């Protein structure tokens, strides 16, 4: 297997004595500035390329997997944020998710386009790839999402939140997506619940920041194409390890499955650095198991 040596940006307290029980990302106090009450620290890391590997990650083992799933719709319409194209795409992805996971119901709740173009200024008019190791949901925000999208009085045995990540228009040339093997995490030490002080339209109010741990194992697929899609967990209510780390509670229905997947974009210094480098579309969905 080949690998890339790169820099990943982890979270750390402001000082060694600073508490890590009230971390916050504040986008309201001084917009458009985003204020953190913790530091982002660069660490050298190795990211293993799975393109030619015999390793086959799955959602339940490592927290992520890749699927071959060509888009039936027009990529350019998706890249232009066309509402009809996005609705058709949601139906396609719902079919894929139910096929892969066996979930009974799929409810989508956001869609984010990201783009990176090389320019002399380094600027891009689009939302750029996110260069911070993080998990999209904490258990608190995941439960709030399930309550919001599950409907009043809905009963279900298990729910997951899954991120669906796909390149558009052409393969990713740089600013790849790195995914961390759930089994390499120390759930009690590595994850820090982080409040999100964001505008009201962003319903999630908490995510996980991630502290550096040299035991983390990172993976990616080079030149990921628009015919491929990455699925990775933001939360799984059936994960025994995550439930014990977050709540300290053993309950019926728990299993030894991956509970989440830290992730981040990364820049490959040996990769191309001119022209169009990446356009990607990510969606999150709540999966209910009846």
Total number of domains in the chain: 1
- Between 95-104, 146-155, 193-202, the lowest mean confidence (pLDDT) is in 146-155
Name the band, by pLDDT with cuts 50, 70 and 90, for residue 21.
Answer: confident
Distance of CA 278 to the CA centre of its chain: 16
Name the band, by pLDDT with cuts 50, 70 and 90, for residue 134.
Answer: very high
Residue 177 is part of a domain; what is its CATH number? 2.60.120
Residue in the block written with tokens 């795409």: 89
Name the band, by pLDDT with cuts 50, 70 and 90, for residue 123.
Answer: very low
Please determine, for residue 88, whether its predicted confidence score (pLDDT) is greater than 50: yes
Predicted pLDDT at 23 = 95
Radius of gyration in angstroms for the set of CA atoms belonging to the chain, rounded to a whole number: 18
Q: What is the token pair recorded at 83? A: 């509402």
Q: Measured between alpha carbons, how far apart are the two ends of the chain, in Å? A: 40
Please determine, for residue 69, whether its predicted confidence score (pLDDT) is greater than 70: yes
Q: How far apart are CA 15 and CA 218, in angstroms?
A: 27
Domain limits for position 268: 3-289
Q: Which are the contacts of 282, defined by CB distance < 8 A and separation ≥ 6? A: 111, 112, 114, 163, 164, 165, 166
Please determine, for residue 194, whether its predicted confidence score (pLDDT) is greater than 90: yes
Please determine, for residue 195, whether its predicted confidence score (pLDDT) is greater than 60: yes
Query: What average pLDDT does the segment 206-213 reach?
Result: 97
Cis upstream peptide for 50 (omega within 30°): no
């Amino acid at each position: 297997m080949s690998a890339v040596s790169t820099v990943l940006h982890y979270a750390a307290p402001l000082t060694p004595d600073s508490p890590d029980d009230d971390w916050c990302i504040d986008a309201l106090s001084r917009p458009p500035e985003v204020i953190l009450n913790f530091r982002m620290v660069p660490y050298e890391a190795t990211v293993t390329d799975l393109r030619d590997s015999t390793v086959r990650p799955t959602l339940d083992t490592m927290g992520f997997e890749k699927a071959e799933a060509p888009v039936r719709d027009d990529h350019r319409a998706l890249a232009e944020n066309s509402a009809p194209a996005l609705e058709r795409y949601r139906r396609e992805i719902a079919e894929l998710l139910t096929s892969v996971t066996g979930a009974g119901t799929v409810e989508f709740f956001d869609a984010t386009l990201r783009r990176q173009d090389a320019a002399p200024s380094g600027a891009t008019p689009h939302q750029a790839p996110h260069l911070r190791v993080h998990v999209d949901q904490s258990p608190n925000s995941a439960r709030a999402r399930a309550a919001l999208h599950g409907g009043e009085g809905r009963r279900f045995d298990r729910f997951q939140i899954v991120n669906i990540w796909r390149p558009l228009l052409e393969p990713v040339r740089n600013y790849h997506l790195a995914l961390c093997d759930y089994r390499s995490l120390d759930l009690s030490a590595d994850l820090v619940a982080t409040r999100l002080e964001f505008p009201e339209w962003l319903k999630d109010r908490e995510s996980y920041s991630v502290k550096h741990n040299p035991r983390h194992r990172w993976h990616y697929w080079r030149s990921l194409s628009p015919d491929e899609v990455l699925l990775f967990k933001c939360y799984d209510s059936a994960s025994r390890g995550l439930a014990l780390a977050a709540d300290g509670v053993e309950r019926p229905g728990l299993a030894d499955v991956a509970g989440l997947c830290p992730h981040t974009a990364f820049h490959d210094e040996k990769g191309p650095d001119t022209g169009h480098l990446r356009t990607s579309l990510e969606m999150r969905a709540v999966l209910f198991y009846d």
